[in-house]
Amino acid sequence: MTVDLKTIAIEPKRQTFGHIARRFGADRPATRYEEATLDVQATANFHYKPLWEPEYWHYDVRKTQIVMQDWYSLRDPRQLYYATYNIGRAGWNGACERNFALAEKRNLLGGLDPALRGRIERFLLPLRHAHWGANMNMSEACQRGYGTAVTAPCIFSAGDHLGMAQIVSRIGLLLDGQTGHSLDRAKESWMTDPAWQGVRRLVEDSFVERDWFRLLVEQTLAINSVVFGLIYDRADAAWDSAATTVSLLTEFMADWRDDEGRWVDAVISGAAAESEANKQLISRWAARAIDRAAAAARPLAAALLGDEAAAEAAANDARTRATRLGVTLDA
């Protein structure tokens, strides 16, 4: 038996907007991702040059050396638009809340010996500043970039990094009994501890990068893979008896890295595949950025784990990934 409701059949005049139908080459129904993304940014007939950067329009393809025939060819394989982004993150966050509730209830970070607690304060908590730096860079790539297909995921990523900086902060508050003292000490490490200075210099240098696509490569391929990769993926030994708790409380970060990785890989491989010139630029940028990130992470790895091998291994992960994206690193 089927139940068949009778409704008035009304034939639509068109299936989607004109700019989308032209991209399809046919008038067929579009997804919500496509309608929310494609050709949404203005492209022509701007009125005034920015007072703060009169050499460019506020939307200007010349703000990077990467040249794309169509910036909307760099689609997001996750097909995120605002609603799906927030609903997805709210889901991860629900798990995160449960994990924090469990850690609090079982006092999982309460009884740590002082040396281990000190290690977490000194090596895990300063990542909140690295996430904040990433937030700044992804906001920059959003405001400076070209085409909604690339720039919308950048502001999503900026939101992610702010969220992750706050999750790391909450780990600190769990450690210090909600006083905030651990966060003060972690900031001190970030600012003065020799182990962190290479990373802080790396992040601060990225703040003055004017080419937004290069900034995107540096942040996502080098800093994310090497610095976050080192601390989140390759430091379990250092967290000792707290390793399970740390991985429980940073589950959001693991979800995020898989998710964002899919997008970044599509953007970088798409841009590199567009032309030999793009490929060479990205190769040069990636090689230099990964080398610099590795150099910055070595003293961190040495201080945390006793040798530099984990930093090199994280850098090699980044190199393998870059090569998979069509980038040549030995030029």
Partner 1 sequence: MSARKLGLKQRYALMTRGLDWETTYQPMEEVYPYDRFEGIKIRDWSEWEDPFRLTMDSYWKFQAEKERKLYAVLDSFAQSNGQTGISDPRYINAIKLFITGVSPLEYQAHRGFAFTGRHLRGVGPRVAAQMQSLDELRHAQTQIHTISHYNKFFNGMAEWPHMHDRVWYLSVPKSFFDDARTAGPFEFMIAIGFAFEYVLTNLLFVPFMSGAAYNGDLATVTFGFSAQSDESRHMTLGIEVIKFLLEQHPDNLPIVQKWVDKWFWRGHRVLGLVAMMMDYMLPKKVMSWKEAWEIYFTEAGGALFQDLARYGLRPPKYADVATAEAEHISHQNWCTFYQYTHAAAFHTWLPTAQEMDWLSEKYPNTFDKYYRPRYEMWAQMEKDGHRFYNMALPQLCTTCQIPMVYTEPGDPTTIAFRQSMYKNERYHFCSDGCKDIFDAEPEKFAQSWLPVHQIFQGNCGGATVPDVLDWYKLKVGEDNLDFGQSPDRKTWDEWQASKSRLAG
User: To the nearest whole angstrom, how small is the minimum distance from the Cβ of residue 48 to partner 1?
Assistant: 5
How many residues in total does the chain contain? 331
Using CA atoms, how far apart are residues 120 and 100, in angstroms rounded to an integer? 16
CB of 280 to partner 1, least distance (A): 27
Give the shortest CB-162-to-partner 1 separation in angstroms: 5
Q: Least distance to partner 1 from the beta carbon of 86, Å?
A: 4
17 vs 233 by CB, closer to partner 1: 17
Distance CA 113, CA 135 (A): 33
Does the CA dihedral 82-85-88-90 come out positive or negative?
Answer: negative
Which residue's CB is nearer to partner 1, number 89 or number 321? 89
Which lies closer to partner 1 via its Cβ, residue 93 or residue 280?
93
Pick 71 or 81: Cβ nearer partner 1: 81
* Cα 279 to Cα 269: distance, rounded to the nearest angstrom: 9
* Closest approach of partner 1 to the CB of residue 326, in Å: 29
Contact 82, 76 (CB under 8 A): no
What residue type is 185 in one-letter code?
R
Q: Which one, 205 or 307, has the nearer CB to partner 1? A: 205
3-state secondary structure of 202: helix
What φ, ψ does residue 12 adopt, rounded to 5°? -70, 150
3-state secondary structure 294-321: HHHHHHHHHHHHCCCHHHHHHHHHHHHH
